[in-house]
Structure 1
Amino acid sequence: MPEPQPALRPHYPVRTPRLSLRPLTTGDVDALVAYRSLPHVCRYVPFEPMTEQVVRDRLRTIWANSDLTDEGQALTLGVTITRSGRLIGDVVLFWHSRTHGGGEIGYVLHPDVQGLGYATEAARALLGLGFDGLGLHRIVARIDERNTASAQVARRLGMRQEARLVRNEFFKGEWSTELDFAMLADEWPAHRERDGGRRG
């Protein structure tokens, strides 16, 4: 099995047909709070509604990376509409294992741009960074079953649902059922350009 590259140092911005992905900055605080503070946005994801101070703290710490140099790290990038420069969300690529070539993606967008295909477009760029840039063997997405929009994104990306873990985690005061999706490196070329920039 080919080993992952020693590091991922993308050239920014990472461009898609409509979007630009880039490291987050302190100038993004208001835009991040605008959606990460909303209870319904946070309902099925592993963080609580964020205050401005929490966002600022994360920008100084876990969101400060602009590359991946070893397993156990995460790369969080802001998603902007190229034409307007508006920050509409963020995506994250986790590098879980060098030995097994394992990674994971996550994505969260402002609710007023949902349904326009932006999440799929941004997440596809993230798969490209993981497979083409870092040389990962396998990338997963773990989604609360009730988060149907997020599950639809994984399916549009071409990720395969491999598991449904029934009431496997006590999450935010209740049992949740997890859907596990995955894609392998040799499956990625067939999905690299699929639906790029299209609505849905």
Structure 2
Amino acid sequence: MSMNATVFPQPLKTDRLVLRLFTENDLDDMHAYQGLPEVARYLYRPPRDRARCAEVIERIGQGTPWKEDGDTLTLAVCRRDTPGVIGEVMVSLSSAYAAQAEIGWVFHPGHGGRGYATEAALALRDLAFQQLSVHRLFARIDGDNTASVRICERLSMRREAHLIENDRDDRGWGSEYVYAILAREIEPAGTD
């Protein structure tokens, strides 16, 4: 299966959110959560400083051609009723040939518990299947990240693997879950 080249042309809107490409004006908002150790803990990397956030925004703000392994679409998540970025969602093409993509999300902890991450991830899941021609969407979740496990379950993803002590950081060994869903397992929009 070959995947069509796709760019992200316009913002994606949900009931409460707008998902759009990052701009240089989003630097302070991104750094506000990407710089937190408690956020980076689940991202398999250290917190980002302002300079690194600026580099990332410059790269991801252009969208993606969505045709080669590693092409990634990262969208800023904004509330419709308040200015500013509260987090981000991403989908990364892990295999163009097999139409496999990884989904992820990062949100400022101050906006947790309100369902924003689930709402944004659902919108991105649907975009991945309906517009990006993804066959299988998966997420890799730190075994201690119970909030992200719940999001995967709300996305109707099944747990396919539990990798025991597969990674190590300054806290010691960590485990990981792999969740996934296939395009055919999603009901088309508008069905009851």
Q: Please classify the TM superposition score into its range, dividing by the shorter chain length.
A: over 0.9
Match of 1:96 in 2: 94
For 1:189, what is the secondary structure of its paired residue?
coil
Residue 69 (1) aligns with residue 79 (2): no
Match of 2:152 in 1: 154
Distance 1:117 1:17, change over 3 A: same
For the residues of structure 2 that align with 1:81 and 1:68, how far apart are their CA atoms?
Answer: 26
Match of 1:23 in 2: 21
Once the two structures are superposed, residues 8-63 of structure 1 have per-residue CA deviations (whole angstroms, 9 ceiling, x without a partner) of 223321111110001101100000111111111111112311111111111223x2
For 1:126, what is the secondary structure of its paired residue?
helix
For 1:121, what is the secondary structure of its paired residue?
helix
Looking at both structures, which has the greater relative contact order when contacts are Cα pairs under 8 Å and sequence separation is at least 6?
Answer: 1
Residue 7 (1) aligns with residue 11 (2): no
Q: Identity percentage over the alignment?
A: 38
How many residues get paired?
Answer: 190
For 1:47, what is the secondary structure of its paired residue?
coil
Q: Which amino acid aligns with 2:112?
A: Q
How far 1:148 sits from its partner (Å)? 0.7
How far 1:125 sits from its partner (Å)? 1.1
Q: Which runs of 5+ in 2 are unaligned?
A: none
For the residues of structure 2 that align with 1:133 and 1:59, how far apart are their CA atoms?
Answer: 23
Preserved contact between residue 167 and residue 173 of structure 2 (Cα < 8 Å): yes
How far 1:97 sits from its partner (Å)? 1.1
Distance 1:172 1:99, change over 3 A: farther
Which of residues 38, 41, 45 in structure 2 aligns to 1:40? Answer: 38
Structure 1 ranges of 4+ moved more than 3 A: none
How far 1:68 sits from its partner (Å)? 3.2
Q: What is the alpha-carbon root mean square deviation over aligned residues?
A: 1.8
Normalising to structure 1: TM-score of the pair? 0.89
For 1:123, what is the secondary structure of its paired residue?
helix
Preserved contact between residue 4 and residue 136 of structure 1 (Cα < 8 Å): no
Q: Which runs of 5+ in 1 are unaligned?
A: 194-200
For the residues of structure 1 that align with 2:53 and 2:139, how far apart are their CA atoms?
Answer: 23
